[in-house]
Amino acid sequence: MATAELHAHDAHAHAHDEHEHHELGFIQKYVFSEDHKTIAKQYLITGIIWAFFGGGLSILFRLQLGFPDMNLEWLRPLLGGWIDESGKLDKEFYLALVTMHGTIMVFFVLTAGLSGTFSNYLIPLQIGARDMASGFINMLSFWFFALASVIMFSSLFIETGPASGGWVIYPPLSALPQAMPGSGLGMTLWLTSMAFFIVSQLMGGINYICTIINLRTRGMSFTKLPLTIWSFFFTAILGLLSFPVLLSAALLLIFDRSFGTSFYLSEIYIQGEALPNMGGSPILYQHLFWFLGHPEVYIVLLPALGITSEIIATNARKPIFGYRAMIGSMMGITLLAFIVWAHHMFITGMNPFLGSVFMFLTLIIAVPSAVKAFNYITTLWKGNIIFTPAMLFSIGLVSLFISGGLTGIILGNSALDINLHDTYFVVAHFHLVMGAASFFGLMAGVYHWFPKMFGKTMNRTMGYIHFWCTFVGVYCVFFPMHYIGIAGFPRRYYSFTALANDAQNSFTDLNMFISIAAILTFSSQLLFALNFFYSIFKGKRATQNPWNSNTLEWTAPIELGHGNWEGEIPAVYRWPYDYSKPGSASDFIPQNVPFSATPESNLPEENEEIAKEKEIEGLLETQNGVYNH
């Protein structure tokens, strides 16, 4: 169906004028839309709403951790029975809070909200395509996500509470409904929701890969792809290979829960009663889960890194340093992602030799990560830096990526992990390197592509305030957490009463500090929400290429219609990072400018490329054929 409409644009406006004025109804345009831009905005706005819920939950348990004696009676109108008679947070609900915070942030915000938004939005626009390979599957992908969202959200309101076994839902805790209140209906809803979520991600992922491989505009070879597209490509591959494994794990868990099989359950007594289950293995679940769980970290992080590459090069007005090294390092990270999962399981009693193999592989990840960090810094080095809010968030990402990544080297050691496993040290590590870094990538992307998405600009001053509050706030929250972790505080505990050397007393102030910092950081996000929603409606009109950027999306009109470009899609002749090229009068040369038009700045090998430009032009008809078939 989409192709029929695309055809109208392709075949030049004069032939099919009536198509140009054909307006879709409200439902087709904004609700069940097959347009990648609308779907991206749906993902973004759903993601932002989820982020506020997920963040809000963390504030609730931070109150408990920072102020264990506080009277929370004032929250009763909101939480009702989850505040117990003494005015404290219910203990079971505390577990539900950490579980839902993790689930929402990892899957619904940083997977769907980040990669769903920017893969959908940028892939067709940056590779020069009219839309995704299948608009229908793309639409389904969002609506499966919406369904998953509704189910997960509704689980917050049931009497027994949402899932509470941690976002990793290890059996037997999650497999036995009688194990804890949250393992009942809440867990069932969690699993149902995640099954839909996985289906949604798979449909999105196959679309991204297929679009990048098949629908690039003429001249857009793989070596001319912006790094954003490369990162979305690797992200989609990671998702395609790892999400089915999570689905397998979840299915077996569902069978154990609902049909009484024993894949993960073995010889268990519960409430003094022996269960009939024999011969299962809970560690099996951990293997399957972490085979997804670890790649998931990179599913969350890679898009943020790609967005950062693009924004840093644009705003440093310099070519990205080590374009191919960046691609290579992302490829390395993608490969390594699949063979390091057992570092989450060092203390499950695994063979120490196996542990050292996984430790070795884990530490190798430091190499591609360091390549990326150095390349960002060398791109910034002596650049003509323009500090837009997007640029600040990108530089912030590099900072968080380094400071969070360093502790990864410590945690990757199987011997050190014995001490640090499941402490706040781990919490601090992954919040910096994966949570906050990806969140900064998301924010950078929103600030950078907002003019393209909505044709308006966001308020800069508010952007700066938002950045500094968030940046300082995130460090204030997570840096002290390392010390708490080293002192031995385990994660997911409701309260601390008997740590060695009375540690629970000597760290009261620090926990209080973290909680206050968390509340302030969270509040400053309201500033972003205000800026975002206000600017959609009342923001200043954007120019076509506000950041003087090279990539193709900025050649499209400000008011993007279905099919993205009126008339022909521009061809691509050069890589996307020709910033401040010696000899050129302007400090950027967009990808669609042929070398024959810029003799003053061409390098000798680029002059040879001029001969190939005719050939790229010749591909026009083949390209139109794709959209008419």
Positions that interact with other proteins (CB under 8 A): 7, 10-11, 15-16, 133-134, 137, 202, 205-207, 209-211, 213-221, 240-245, 247-249, 251-252, 255, 259-263, 278-281, 284, 287-288, 291, 615, 618-619, 621-626, 628-629
We find the least distance from the C-beta atom of residue 216 to other proteins, in angstroms, to be 4
CB-based burial, 286-316: b 16+ in 10 Å, e otherwise: bbbbbbbbbbbbbbbbbbbbbbbbbbbbbbb
Instruction: Give whichever of 203 and 300 is closer to other proteins, judged by the CB atom.
Output: 203
Rounded to whole angstroms, how far apart are CA atoms 190 and 95? 14
CB 447 within 8 A of CB 391: no
**343 C-beta neighbours (distance < 10 Å), count:** 21
We find the least distance from the C-beta atom of residue 193 to other proteins, in angstroms, to be 19
The partner residues of 540 in beta bridges, in order of sequence, read: 457
Place of tokens 């490329």: 609
HEC letters along 58-74: HHHHHHHHHCCCCCCHH
Instruction: Give whichever of 134 and 580 is closer to other proteins, judged by the CB atom.
Output: 134
CB 404 within 8 A of CB 432: yes
CB 119 within 8 A of CB 200: no
Instruction: Give whichever of 49 and 210 is closer to other proteins, judged by the CB atom.
Output: 210
CA atoms within 13 A on the CB side of 311: 29
Instruction: Give whichever of 244 and 583 is closer to other proteins, judged by the CB atom.
Output: 244
Place of tokens 């460090």: 475
We find the least distance from the C-beta atom of residue 625 to other proteins, in angstroms, to be 5
Instruction: Give whichever of 422 and 617 is closer to other proteins, judged by the CB atom.
Output: 617
CA atoms within 13 A on the CB side of 95: 19
Instruction: Give whichever of 602 and 623 is closer to other proteins, judged by the CB atom.
Output: 623
Radius of gyration of the chain (CA): 25
Instruction: Give whichever of 2 and 83 is closer to other proteins, judged by the CB atom.
Output: 2
How many angstroms separate the Cα of 233 from the Cα of each of 222, 227, 309?
A: 11, 10, 15
Amino acid at 66: G
Rounded to whole angstroms, how far apart are CA atoms 75 and 57? 13
Instruction: Give whichever of 261 and 524 is closer to other proteins, judged by the CB atom.
Output: 261
We find the least distance from the C-beta atom of residue 141 to other proteins, in angstroms, to be 12
We find the least distance from the C-beta atom of residue 260 to other proteins, in angstroms, to be 4
We find the least distance from the C-beta atom of residue 208 to other proteins, in angstroms, to be 10
We find the least distance from the C-beta atom of residue 627 to other proteins, in angstroms, to be 9
Instruction: Give whichever of 86 and 622 is closer to other proteins, judged by the CB atom.
Output: 622
We find the least distance from the C-beta atom of residue 380 to other proteins, in angstroms, to be 32
Amino acid at 616: I
Instruction: Give whichever of 384 and 628 is closer to other proteins, judged by the CB atom.
Output: 628
Instruction: Give whichever of 523 and 628 is closer to other proteins, judged by the CB atom.
Output: 628
We find the least distance from the C-beta atom of residue 15 to other proteins, in angstroms, to be 5
The residues, any chain, with a CB within 8 Å of residue 14's CB and separated by 6 or more, are: none
CB 144 within 8 A of CB 201: no
CB 99 within 8 A of CB 162: yes
CB 555 within 8 A of CB 571: no
We find the least distance from the C-beta atom of residue 259 to other proteins, in angstroms, to be 6
Ramachandran angles phi, psi of 540, nearest 5° = -70, 145
Angle between helices 620-628 and 604-618 (to 10 degrees): 40
Rounded to whole angstroms, how far apart are CA atoms 562 and 2? 9
Helix and strand tally (H, E) in the chain?
Answer: 23, 4
CB 303 within 8 A of CB 119: yes
We find the least distance from the C-beta atom of residue 108 to other proteins, in angstroms, to be 21
We find the least distance from the C-beta atom of residue 224 to other proteins, in angstroms, to be 10
Nearest to 514 by CA among 556, 485, 557: 485
Instruction: Give whichever of 215 and 305 is closer to other proteins, judged by the CB atom.
Output: 215
